[in-house]
Amino acid sequence: MIKGKFIDNLPKVYGIYTGGFLGFIILMAIAEQAGMSAKMIGIFFVAFTVLIYALIGYLSRTLQVDAYYVAGRQVPTVFNGMATAADWMSGASFVAMAGGIYFKGYGYMALLVGWTGGYVLVASLLAPYLRKFGCYTVPDFIGTRYGGNMARLSAVIVLTVASFTYVTAQINATGTIASVALDIPFNIAVYVGLASILMCSMLGGMRAVTWTQVAQYIVLIVAYLIPVFWISNKIGAGFFPHFMLADEVARIAELESQFGLGTVKNSAADLASVPKGLAGITKAHSDVNTTPWKFISLAVCMMAGTASLPHVMMRYFTTPSVKAARRSVGWSLFFIFLLYSSAPMLATLSKLSLMDPNLPTGIIGKSIADVQAIDWYQNWNQANLMFVSDFNGNGTLELNEFFMGGKAVVLATPEVAGLPYVISGLVAAGGMAAAMSTADGLVLAISNALSHDIYYKMINPKAETAKRLIVARVLLVIIGFAGATIAALEIQGILGSVIWAFDFAMSGLFFPLVLGVWWKRANAQGAVAGMLLGLISGTAYLVWVRNGGAGFWGVTQLTFGIVGSLVSLVSMVVVSLITKAPDSATQKMVDEVRVPSGKTVLGKQH
Amino acid sequence: MSKQAQHWEKTKNLLFITLAIWFVFSIGIFFFATEMNASGIKPFGYPLTYWFTCQGSLGIFVILIFWFAGRQEKIDEEFGFTEREDD
């Protein structure tokens, strides 16, 4: 059926794959009608998709260094865009984002703006130049541009802190979904998730991760869009929700005032009876509910963090050319846009379905006893994601008496809106794909930095290919297990640690990366000072605020990157200027990086 | 000025324009969030600030990157710095 080289057949291969996946959904729908249990459908969805990824990972195995580190630099623009989108959109984007918008409204949407706007910085400031450089990892760029092991080592430290914070959250998310879908305890599910992640990346490195990520993108976007369009059509809100939900947004605002949002407050004693992690609606849906600085500072941190996170940057090392790297950033953002622009629509549909008394699914204003008798309420109450309580004793459910977990907006809405269970199974598979693809990229970013930059460049530069690749794989497994072990402890929530990862990356890497291309005078001493002082000051600020410190400039524990990156910028410029300018060879290297044509700065095999 | 210096000059100018547009839609307009929502301008019927955070800014970023890539390719072509396709 497929002739010739794999790369030339990509549209066909993934076309068949997408068709096969849609066929599988239909098959499951038929099985549901035939009486297959909800539990079995969930297991089939998650197990089937994970097996496919593992198969792709196995087929992409490689014994070549440049295939392992940069997928042989032959990933076409559009496919690299899809892979980056999957790499980028984590369990947090898929499972938690619509929930965040549902509960916090405008203040939360700074994340939408920040997580997309950052790509403009990636495209214009960094990606094409790093591609021209021809490096395998981000510390590889820092180490060669500035020269010296100290710069390389500092970059590895920042990368590891940021990516490791991020990856524990992702392994946590795979564990959560695997434990719900496969019905196994969380601390075992975490290792099941880890095993699936390693199966995708261990044998083929970047090449395997690339092709599984494309496959995972297709699953996650199908799983996100089908429910949004279906619900919108089902409640008659419009066949294309993105352009047609204005009336629904206005209707929510009307219901909010009708139900006394913000005027009826719960007492502390009442709130204490609500299970941990659940929240009620306290913020208006479409009003501006936060100060400009709070919104903007969060958006700025997410944007600069996007441009500093190594697992995203290294995706652009895999394109065939500098031109392709630039265009590929555009495609990445397009594919991300498809999901991100749908999240607010899902939040709107979910909220309206629950709130509007004119809809059969609306529960606000119904009697408490009736709500407690609804099937889906009982299921999600048992899963600890929904809760009602008659605080004022009038027997009727008020808006302030309904509580839900953030994840429930994505996971439970299909069931609330009366969609068949097959859609819920699909959503679980999508969430699994989102968390796995990001975890893969992160684990690979860390282990590649350790194997290439620490082992090969610093410890044993004479190591042969086979030995380098063995070290890379051993490290991959170690990093994965370390991540899973910490994830099993459940220290922080998923979303909080994701935001921290951005702040860490921004504190240590943003200015050293950008100035490496855009400021010739930047030297090794300056870069080391920038990376280390940035990371240390950012971390110190976080610890201080976490322990009750007052903070300054309105910078919170979610935006500590502002402090870190400012310290990084100032120290980098000052130290660079008071020490010697980089030698002429380095200056020439920077000139070369700025011209797209010609050979890469680093050789093909290095 | 050498060919390479001119190329870099033009590249820098393009960067500034790109970052200026980026700044307006990622940071600038959100200083006026309350005013924009109250302005009565309603794209697709949504309140203005709400629309920008859901779709507007996001969509503009997508278009901006493709526009930027196209312009940069033109600059590279002008100076003969385009990569060979078989590279």
A359-412 pLDDT, tens digit each: 888 888 888 888 888 888 888 888 788 888 888 888 888 888 889 888 888 888
pLDDT over 70 percentage in chain A: 98
Give residue B17's identity as a one-letter amino acid code: I
Chain A within 8 Å of B65 (Cβ-Cβ)?
yes
Mark which residues 541-600 of A lie under 8 Å from B by CB: 591, 594-598
Chain A within 8 Å of B54 (Cβ-Cβ)?
yes
In a domain, A507, yes or no: no
Q: Is residue A332 within 8 Å of A352, Cβ to Cβ?
A: no
**Minimum-distance CB partner of B72 among A114, A125, A326:** A326
The pLDDT value recorded for residue B86 is: 47
Among A2-6, A40-44, A162-166, B51-55, which is the least confidently predicted range?
A: A2-6
**Minimum-distance CB partner of B46 among A249, A326, A327:** A249
The pLDDT value recorded for residue A531 is: 94
CA distance A23 to A32: 14
The gap between the terminal CA atoms of chain B, to the nearest Å, is: 29
CA distance B60 to A334: 11
Give the total residue count for chain B: 87
Asked if B81 lies within 8 A of A595 by C-beta distance, the reply is yes
The pLDDT value recorded for residue A2 is: 52
Q: How far is B16 from chain A (nearest CA, A)?
A: 10
Q: How far is A597 from chain B (nearest CA, A)?
A: 4
Cβ contacts below 8 Å, chain A against chain B, sum to 143
Mutation target vs A (from B54, B57, B64, B71; most A CBs, 10 A cutoff)? B54
Q: How far is B74 from chain A (nearest CA, A)?
A: 11
Among A5-14, A178-187, A413-422, which is the least confidently predicted range?
A: A178-187
Chain B within 8 Å of A299 (Cβ-Cβ)?
yes
The mean pLDDT value of chain A amounts to 87
Give residue A150's identity as a one-letter amino acid code: M
**Minimum-distance CB partner of B69 among A244, A246, A326:** A326
In a domain, A89, yes or no: yes
Q: What tokens were used for A316? A: 């652009």
Q: Is residue A342 within 8 Å of A221, Cβ to Cβ?
A: no
Residue A21, pLDDT above cutoff 70? yes
**Minimum-distance CB partner of A299 among B27, B47, B80:** B27
Asked if A345 lies within 8 A of B47 by C-beta distance, the reply is no
Asked if B59 lies within 8 A of A337 by C-beta distance, the reply is yes
Any residues with CB less than 8 A from the CB of A439 and at least 6 apart, and which?
A167, A170, A171, A174, A193, A197, A483
Mean pLDDT of A141-155: 90
Residue A4, pLDDT above cutoff 90? no
The pLDDT value recorded for residue A507 is: 94
Asked if A246 lies within 8 A of B87 by C-beta distance, the reply is no
Asked if B31 lies within 8 A of A292 by C-beta distance, the reply is yes
Contacts of A110 in chain B (CB under 8 A): 53
The pLDDT value recorded for residue A494 is: 67
Report how many helices (DSSP H) and strands (DSSP E) chain A contains, helices first: 28, 3
**Residue of chain B with shortest Cα separation from A600:** B87
Q: What tokens were used for A340? A: 């991100």
Q: Which of A522, A514, A495 is nearest to A565 (CA)?
A: A514
Q: How far is A249 from chain B (nearest CA, A)?
A: 7
The pLDDT value recorded for residue B85 is: 56
The pLDDT value recorded for residue A407 is: 82
Q: How far is B31 from chain A (nearest CA, A)?
A: 5
The pLDDT value recorded for residue B87 is: 44
Residue A1, pLDDT above cutoff 50? no
How do residues A486-509 score in pLDDT, each as one tens digit?
A: 877 766 666 677 889 999 999 999
Any residues with CB less than 8 A from the CB of B23 and at least 6 apart, and which?
none
Tell me phi and psi for residue A367, to 5 degrees. -75, 145
**Minimum-distance CB partner of A330 among B25, B45, B65:** B65
SS3 readout for A511-569: HHHHHHHHCCCCCHHHHHHHHHHHHHHHHHHHHHHHCCCCCCCCCCCCCCHHHHHHHHH
How do residues A281-321 score in pLDDT, each as one tens digit?
A: 888 888 888 888 999 999 999 999 999 999 999 999 999 88
Q: Is residue B26 within 8 Å of A301, Cβ to Cβ?
A: no
**Residue of chain B with shortest Cα separation from A111:** B53
**Residue of chain A with shortest Cα separation from B31:** A292
pLDDT band at residue B20 under the 50/70/90 scheme: very high
Contacts of A297 in chain B (CB under 8 A): none
Q: How far is A430 from chain B (nearest CA, A)?
A: 22
Query: Taking the CB of residue A482, how many other CB atoms lie within 10 A of it?
Result: 16
pLDDT over 90 percentage in chain A: 34
The pLDDT value recorded for residue A511 is: 95
In a domain, A221, yes or no: yes
In a domain, A220, yes or no: yes
How do residues A231-245 score in pLDDT, each as one tens digit?
A: 998 888 888 988 888
List A278's β-bridge partners, or say none.
A405
Mean pLDDT of A203-228: 92
Among A17-31, A150-164, A210-224, A464-478, which is the least confidently predicted range?
A: A464-478
CA distance A239 to A245: 10
pTM: 0.92
Q: Is residue A455 within 8 Å of A470, Cβ to Cβ?
A: no
Chain B within 8 Å of A249 (Cβ-Cβ)?
yes
In a domain, A10, yes or no: no
pLDDT band at residue A517 under the 50/70/90 scheme: very high
Residue A26, pLDDT above cutoff 90? yes
In a domain, A36, yes or no: yes
The pLDDT value recorded for residue A493 is: 65
The pLDDT value recorded for residue A588 is: 87
Q: Looking at per-residue confidence, does A237 or A129 come out higher?
A: A129
**Minimum-distance CB partner of A292 among B15, B30, B52:** B30
Contacts of A345 in chain B (CB under 8 A): 54
Q: Which of A136, A350, A402 is nearest to A237 (CA)?
A: A350
Asked if B8 lies within 8 A of A597 by C-beta distance, the reply is no
Count: domains in chain A: 1
Chain B within 8 Å of A298 (Cβ-Cβ)?
no
Mean pLDDT of B41-62: 91
In a domain, A314, yes or no: yes
Contacts of A344 in chain B (CB under 8 A): 53-54
Asked if A321 lies within 8 A of B83 by C-beta distance, the reply is yes
pLDDT band at residue A336 under the 50/70/90 scheme: very high
Distances (CA, A) of B55 to A72, A334, B42, B47: 36, 12, 13, 12
In a domain, A29, yes or no: yes
The pLDDT value recorded for residue B66 is: 96
Mean pLDDT of A76-105: 90
Q: Where are the beta strands (DSSP E) in A270-345?
A: 278-279
Mean pLDDT of A575-593: 89
Contacts of B25 in chain A (CB under 8 A): 117
> Where in the sequence is the domain holding A131, given as residue range(s)?
15-253+296-349+420-449+466-495
Q: How far is A583 from chain B (nearest CA, A)?
A: 19
Q: What tokens were used for A519? A: 């400021």
Asked if A119 lies within 8 A of B19 by C-beta distance, the reply is no
Chain B within 8 Å of A56 (Cβ-Cβ)?
no
Contacts of A112 in chain B (CB under 8 A): 53-54, 58
Q: Looking at per-residue confidence, does A481 or A604 come out higher?
A: A481
pLDDT band at residue A9 under the 50/70/90 scheme: confident
- Residue tagged 């005013």 (tokens): B35
How do residues A91-105 score in pLDDT, each as one tens digit?
A: 878 888 898 899 988
Asked if B69 lies within 8 A of A242 by C-beta distance, the reply is no
The pLDDT value recorded for residue B42 is: 85
CATH number of residue A222's parent domain:
1.20.1730.10
